[in-house]
Chains A and B, each alone.
Chain A
Amino acid sequence: MFKKLLATPYALFMALFVILPIIMIAVYAFTDAEGALDLIGNFQDLAKEPALGKVIKNSIIAGLSTAVICLLIGYPIAYYLTKAEFNRTGVLIGLFLVPMWVNFLLRMMSTKAVFTVLGIPMGMGTVIFGLCYEFLPFMIMPIYTTIQKIDKSFIEGANDLGATPTKAFWKITVPLSLPGVLSGLTMVIIPSITTFAVTEILSNGKLMLLGDFIYSLKAYNLNMASAISLALMILLGISMIITNRFNKDSEKGGGLW
């Protein structure tokens, strides 16, 4: 009983600063500037916003390219890092994680400075580079964890039964690592389109993704900012449910880390 009581401060704090904020988003999304109930007004205003179409188009291009590039680079890295011949001590995986802890603004501004020295013009290409730079570890980690958990005897069995290593890889490792790939994709696509400041820095303020758009809305229309935030949370919720369903089949394969 005494121990259970200890959870109260935490529960209260989370209710005030995690659950209440989400309720507030919903309240603002469904009311107008005067606080009167208005179920569709903010969404209609959003649809009328001239910049939004371009923002969504840019977000889809940037988000999907980032996801595909991170997958193409991250999967082989995660796969080979699970093999002792490349990563005996586990130090290498640490090296892939350290940049994640360096302030991302600093990394993006250094990247920009390097690009400037190399004479590379800022635009969509440099933005996608920056996003891949920021989110690659989020693709590597879940795939690495799922592949590490695959029972080695499956692959040995396949080899004993005559499969070539290539065939065993495609028939066993790839299907069994799909939950990790799926969590990786969720952890790359949504954060990359809602990231804020990366686009601004690496495109010299020419491009805007959803994150920058929400931030710019915040200054003059909290209701519209809330409406779009609510839509994003619902999207995130749906993708989480799908990912969790996949992961349940494989005993929680691809965790967050």
Chain B
Amino acid sequence: MVRKLLVKSFIGIVLIILYLPIVWMIVFSFTDTPSFSGWNGFSFQNYIDLFTGQGSNSARIQEAIVNTLFVGVFTSLLSTILGTLGAIGLHAFRSKRIKAAYSTVNQIPMINSEIVTAIALALVFNLFASTLQISGGTWAETAFKLILAHTSYCAPYVLLNVLPRLQKADNKVYEAALDLGCTPAKAMFKVVLPDIMPGIVIGGLLAFTLSIDDFVITKVNVTSFETLSTLLYGLKSGKHPLPPDIRALFSIIFFIVFVLIMIIYSPKKKSEQKA
């Protein structure tokens, strides 16, 4: 079958091009040349430097990791709580108009251009800062600002992951729990939450991944707060933009993201992939 071979090589070539820069970076994370050429012997030195803090960018890397994880974890928590509650509430509404209004607002952060979302959020934060008489520039204020900003576009993804679970769950069990004397809150924890837990977990993971990956919204809304993305951006104009310890760091991150994505996609059937 010539056709089959042609198709396979076409798909193969596109995949090779997609992965080439990433693989090239991972390969060169095992040697200490300044650029992506001129192999200088295989070693784990970059990784050792990364963990012992001996690399040329160690201080910045540590700061960026702490900041990124802090914002990512709290964004994920807040998005998961808001998105799950929102999904349960939305599911209870019968009115088509309310449902349509919700889904429109929900779609805005997903389809709007990132730079526009970022500028719009910056305007709102300016407004809050001037009404509340705060500078908005301290570490805690910036972190809080970023958590709110990231949550505004991560929570809709959580909602969209929880909603299908609610639609599949049997509402009669919840009503039976109420009939048998449960308070609504208790029935919620004992009946509804276990039913939709897979959607909540996947939504939370997704929010975390989206948050740690974000660049545009972060860059526009911070002045001196380093995350992994702004760290990368800061290195872009150097002569060799991806120094050895950065390559080691992002090779590790690649593997973590790869595993997370496999978890997010694997337990689901084709019909209900992400949103």
A112 and B18 alpha carbons, distance in the complex (Å):
13
* A117-B14 CB under 8 A given contacts A9-B85, A10-B82: no
A77 within 8 A of B: yes
CA distance A209 to B112 in the complex (A): 17
| A197 and B233 contact, CB distance less than 8 A | yes
Question: B83 to A10, Cβ gap below 8 A?
Answer: yes
Q: Which residues of A pack against B, CB within 8 Å?
A: 2-11, 13-14, 16-22, 24-25, 27-28, 73, 76-77, 80-81, 85-86, 90, 92, 94-99, 101-107, 109-114, 116-117, 133, 136, 148, 190-191, 194-197, 200-201, 205, 211, 214-215, 218, 222, 225-226, 229, 232-233, 236, 240, 255-257
Q: Is B233 a contact partner of A105 (Cβ separation < 8 A)?
A: yes
Interface segment among B21-29, B42-50, B133-141: the answer is B21-29
Give the nearest-CB partner of B37 in chain A: A117
Tell me if B24 and A22 are in contact (CB < 8 A).
Answer: no
Sampled A-B contacts (11; CB under 8 Å) = A10-B90, A19-B105, A22-B120, A77-B11, A81-B11, A98-B257, A99-B19, A113-B36, A214-B115, A225-B119, A232-B113
Smallest Cβ-Cβ distance to A214: which chain B residue: B115
Whole-angstrom distance from the CB of A135 to the nearest CB of chain B?
12
Contact with A along B1-43 (1 / 0, CB 8 A): 0001001101100110111111011000000000111000000
- The answer for the CA separation of A232 and B8 in the assembled complex, in Å, is 39
Interface residues on B, range: 35 or more
- With contact pairs A18-B108, A101-B261, A107-B21 given, residues A218 and B122 touching in the complex (Cβ less than 8 Å): yes
* CB of B258 closer than 8 Å to a CB of A: yes
Inter-chain CA distance A85–B7, complex, in Å, is: 11
Contacts of A17 in B (CB 8 A): 121, 124, 148-149, 151-152
- Answer whether A194 and B15 are a contact pair too, CB < 8 Å, given A25-B120, A110-B242, A257-B273: no
B contact face: mostly helix, strand, loop, or mixed: helix
- A14-B105, A106-B232 given; A6·B275 CB < 8 A: no
B89–A8 touching, CB < 8 Å: yes
Residues of B within 8 A of A97 (CB): 261, 265
B interface residues with partner A (beta carbon < 8 Å): 4, 7-8, 10-11, 14-15, 17-22, 24-25, 35-37, 81-83, 85-86, 88-93, 102, 105-106, 108-117, 119-124, 127, 148-149, 151-152, 155, 159, 184-185, 188, 209, 213, 215-216, 219-220, 228-229, 232-233, 235-237, 240-242, 250, 253-254, 257-258, 260-262, 265, 270, 273-275
Interface centre among B7, B119, B188 (most CB of A within 10 A): B119
Measured between beta carbons, the chain A residues less than 8 angstroms from B110 are 256
Given contacts A3-B184, A103-B253, A114-B20, 12 further A-B contacts (CB under 8 A): A6-B92, A7-B90, A17-B151, A99-B22, A101-B260, A104-B215, A109-B242, A194-B115, A196-B219, A226-B119, A255-B275, A256-B110
Neighbouring A residues of B111 by C-beta, 8 Å? 236, 240, 256
Query: Inside 8 A of B20's CB, which chain A residues have their CB?
Result: 114
The chain A residue with its CB closest to the CB of B257 is A101
- A240 → B minimal CB distance (Å): 7
B151 touches A86 (CB 8 A): no
Q: How far is the CB of B121 from chain A (nearest CB, A)?
A: 5
Q: Are B116 and A229 in contact (CB under 8 A)?
A: yes
Given A77-B11, A86-B8, are A99 and B117 also a contact pair (CB < 8 Å)? Answer: no
Contact A28 B82, CB 8 Å, known A101-B213, A256-B275: no
CA distance A96 to B85 in the complex (A): 33
A194–B113 touching, CB < 8 Å: yes
Q: How far is the CA of A19 from the CA of B108 in the complex (A)?
A: 9
Residues of B within 8 A of A229 (CB): 113, 115-116, 119-120
Cβ contact within 8 Å between A3 and B89: yes
Query: Contacts A10-B159, A114-B36 hold; do A196 and B115 have CB atoms under 8 A apart?
Result: yes
Residues of chain A contacted by B220 (CB below 8 angstroms): 215, 218
A contact residues around B228 at 8 Å (CB): 103
